[in-house]
Amino acid sequence: MEGMLLGIVLVISLLGLFTAFLLARWILSKSTGSEAMQKISNAIKEGAEAFLRTQNRTIILLAAAFAAILFIGYGVVRGHKEFDPVGAMQLAGWITVSFISGAVCSMIAGYVGMWVSIRANIRTATAAMTSLNDALRIALRGGAVSGLLVVSLSLLGVGGLYAMVSLISDIDPTKIPLLIVGYGFGASFVALFAQLGGGIYTKAADVGADLVGKVEAGIPEDDPRNPAVIADLVGDNVGDCAGRGADLFESTAAENIGAMILGASLASLADKTPGMGFSMGVIGVMMFPLVARAFGIIASIVGIVMVKMDKEEKIDPMQALNRGYYIAVVLAMIGFGFCTRWLLHSPGAPNAWLYFYACGVIGVLTSVAFVFITQYYTEYKYRPVKSIANASVTGPATNIIAGVGVGLECVAVPVLVMGAALLSSYYLGKSSGLPAAGLFGTAVATMGMLSTAAFILAMDTFGPITDNAGGIVEMSEQPESVRVKTDRLDAVGNTTKALTKGYAIGSAALAAFLLFQAYMDEVRQYAGLAADHPFPVDLSKPVVFVGGLIGAGLVFLFSAFAIRAVGSAAEAIIAEVRRQYKDLKRENDMIIFPKDFKPDYGACVDIVTKAALRKMVTPGLLAVLTPIVVGILFRVFKDEANPLIAAEAVAGLLMVGTIVGIVMALFLNNSGGAWDNAKKFIETGALGGKYLTVNGKKIKNPTHGAAVVGDTVGDPFKDTAGPSLHVLIKLLSTITLVLAPLFI
């Protein structure tokens, strides 16, 4: 039984990796176009690879130090405790090995995914010269390599570690997830730094390029005369592609392990209730998350391969992507139903699997709801973005006030949707007829939501590939007809990037609830309490309340560091570009470029690489160390009545931190997206467009200038701090999962 299920999981994840390999080979076989295009693409490639290599070196150093601390902390300082599943050294060994595996797999997935993306961009650009359909497919399949790598590798890691522990040691299989929780933490650790470093890089370059390029010099985006433009294009890859990949890698890894822990304790309880045991036993329930995810990979592969446009290329590329997505969703839901019936069936509660299946459907519906809400708040068809654009008429200050207003407002509906999803899946689980199955219901909802993660991630990485393709076409001065094609793809890419962020925060919220239930379960196990022993996280206790306060403060301080890093790095870029432009002539406030003007791209790439690496360390360490310090220091408050008070305070920190992190991320992502599109709306010609003609002279439209200020402020919100908060939320969960024994 165990062997067969593990076999299915491992074979399907290898299949996913093999498919990624085939897709990559298919992409690399495509034409790379003219020399001019290659020159630009190579510059992007060099910059991106150099940054990722340097970044990974820093991360490896930090991770190695942390692995050593973990090993010593568990093996030597803490020593063996009564309820540990294995001896101290063995516990320390497995936790450290799984941490390192998680970190290494995440880095590999990120690096290889980006390696393919920065090769797919020029091929997309070249294909766009002949066929939009070919360009679309190259870009999506380039993204799919990332998507499949991330999801398959995370599944392979969890499955493989489980198999290793099961082969080498002979402990109770339901305890194995406790030994491999380090995998999720390793993945979060890498994701945090990757997202922070990449996010700072991409937005410092973008803000710098925009402010001097568009606003001061009056040249278009991606103009080759802007010295910061290559850094900007590199940023799309290291931020959106490598960063988001690491983010979703850890989501799926952590959620798999968390759901296994919850599943094991649910099934053990059911087994103890006469007649309630599951048909496929405890192992079946525990393996359910992995098997369901494996079926999701197959569904995503089919969906990706099915994406194509009709011969005349009349349909919207978004429509083609949506068709593929719907295919993937339907297939995933069929597979999910099959898995629930197979592995979650209990003769004592014959309809229980149907209730769980309904939870999975709720998860999918929640992700759809998040996508629609994100669209409403960030697309210029709707009121919010229009109100920002209108406020730009009275200048940058009212533009900012309106944008902040929209960002703060957009939190309300997602909060209600999340609440409804949590409560309905909880009560569905509870009504299933099985004992204490409510929390497992919320876990199944999360699995439903994440079942098409590979497809979503493919659409996300599609964004930077098409963005880069557009940049290459623009900079190599291709004919207008080609630009029109890449612009169409680029617009779709912007939409998919925004949607993925909605999806990522929704899944982070559901996954977080699952993960902190797993944390509480783990605390109970290590403290020798029964799985149904009450362990409330009582916010009315001063110590727990203070834990919650610290969690809220952490989210704010972390965001401050992320945003400020972008601000100061951008200022350095602006100073550099101004230096390069200093001696050029101006007319009507716009620069007149000499024909032979050659900007120094390398200087900007260097500045931003160094700044991003330097600035990612403080917020990263802050996030990692805060829960540890609280958990260890607050042990002084232990007394007879509250032996677990430190673990409880950490839970308070975790839960309040998660709530604040979610609403803050929604605020940052959506206000940023709304500002961006308010500017784009004006650039379509609304409210005067980019330029006005006054007394026969072409002058910059101040309304557009105000909107650019908002767009710029939104950049670090939506692409640095916001996405980093997704990772922070999950890091808090995984770090507490791994270190729970130290807080007891």
What is the nearest approach in angstroms of a copy of itself to the Cβ of residue 516? 7
What is the 3 state secondary structure string of 213-274? HHHHHCCCCCCCCCCCHHHHHHHHHHHHHHHHHHHHHHHHHHHHHHHHHHHHHHHHHHHHCC
Q: Half-sphere exposure of 452 toward its Cβ, with a 13 Å CA cutoff? A: 32
Q: Please tell me whether residue 590 binds a copy of itself under the rule CB under 8 A.
A: no
The secondary element (H helix, E strand) that includes residue 385 is helix 383-391
User: At its nearest, how many Å lie between a copy of itself and the CB of residue 527?
Assistant: 15
Among 207, 282, 352, 650, binds a copy of itself (CB under 8 A): 207
Report d(CA 501, CA 116) in Å as an integer: 22
- Please answer whether residues 488 and 470 qualify as being in contact, where contact means their C-beta atoms are separated by less than 8 angstroms: no
Radius of gyration of the chain (CA): 25
- Contact with a copy of itself (CB under 8 A) among 662, 674, 738, 742: 662
CA atoms of 118 and 630, how far apart (whole Å): 42
- Residue whose CB is less far from a copy of itself, 197 or 438: 438
Residue 411 engages a copy of itself in binding (rule: CB under 8 A): yes
Cβ distance to a copy of itself smaller for residue 161 or 512: 512
**Contact pick of 7, 220, 419, 689 for a copy of itself (by CB under 8 A):** 419
- Judged by CB, which is closer to a copy of itself: 192, or 659? 659
Residue the block writes with tokens 């839970």 = 651
Instruction: Give the nearest distance from C-beta 667 to a copy of itself in angstroms.
Output: 6
Q: Which helix (H) or strand (E) holds 47?
A: helix 35-72
Binding status of residue 389 toward a copy of itself by CB under 8 A: no
- Answer for which of 168, 549, 625, 629 binds a copy of itself (CB under 8 A) is 549
DSSP 346: B
Classify residue 451 by burial, with Cβ atoms within 10 Å: 0-12, 13-18, 19+: buried
Residues 555-584 that bind a copy of itself (CB under 8 A): 556-557, 559-561, 563-564, 566-567, 570-571, 574-575
Distance (Å, whole) CA 186 – CA 648: 24
Smallest separation (angstroms) from a copy of itself to the CB of 543: 7
Cβ closest to a copy of itself, residue 84 vs residue 206? 206
Judged by CB under 8 A, the residue of 418, 447, 646, 739 near a copy of itself is 418
Asked whether position 537 contacts a copy of itself by CB under 8 A, the answer is yes
Residue identified by tokens 């952490």 is 554
Per CB under 8 A, 732 contacts a copy of itself: no
Q: Vertex 452, ends 449 and 454: CA angle to 5°?
A: 130
Shortest distance (Å) from residue 737 CB to a copy of itself = 14
DSSP, collapsed to helix, strand or coil, labels residue 596 as: coil
216 or 460, CB closer to a copy of itself?
216
- In the region spanning residues 233 to 272, those forming contacts with a copy of itself, defined by CB under 8 A, are none
To 5 degrees, how large is the angle CA 448–CA 371–CA 707?
155
| C-alpha span between 199 and 425 (Å, rounded) | 34
Contact between 7 and a copy of itself (CB under 8 A)?
A: no
Region of 79-87, 269-277, 481-489, 649-657 interacting with a copy of itself (CB under 8 A): 649-657
Give the one residue of 520, 616, 725, 744 binding a copy of itself; rule: CB under 8 A.
520
Strands 697-700 and 691-694: what pairing?
antiparallel
Tell me which residue of 16, 676, 582 sits closest to 290, measured CA to CA: 16
Per-residue binder mask for a copy of itself (CB under 8 A), 610-639, x = binder: ---------------------------x--
How far apart are alpha carbons 333 and 451 in whole angstroms? 8
Q: Measured from the CB atom, is 106 or 724 closer to a copy of itself?
A: 724
Q: Which two tokens stand for residue 603?
A: 């200087």
Q: Which of 50, 408, 632, 692 binds a copy of itself (CB under 8 A)?
A: 408
Asked if residue 443 lies in contact with residue 258, where contact means CB atoms within 8 angstroms, the answer is yes
Q: Which stretch binds a copy of itself (CB under 8 A): 84-92, 323-331, 405-413, 722-730?
A: 405-413
CB 222, min distance to a copy of itself, A: 19
Burial of 537 (0-12, 13-18, 19+ CB in 10 A): buried
- Work out which of 126, 451, 712, 734 binds a copy of itself, going by CB under 8 A: 712
Q: How far is the CB of 614 from a copy of itself (least distance, A)?
A: 16
Q: Which of 108, 171, 401, 603 is in the footprint of a copy of itself by CB under 8 A?
A: 401
Which C-beta is closer to a copy of itself: that of 178 or that of 668?
A: 668
Nearer to a copy of itself among residue 37 and residue 573 (C-beta): 573
Query: Least distance (Å) from a copy of itself to the CB of residue 702?
Result: 10
Binding footprint of a copy of itself, residue count (CB under 8 A): 78
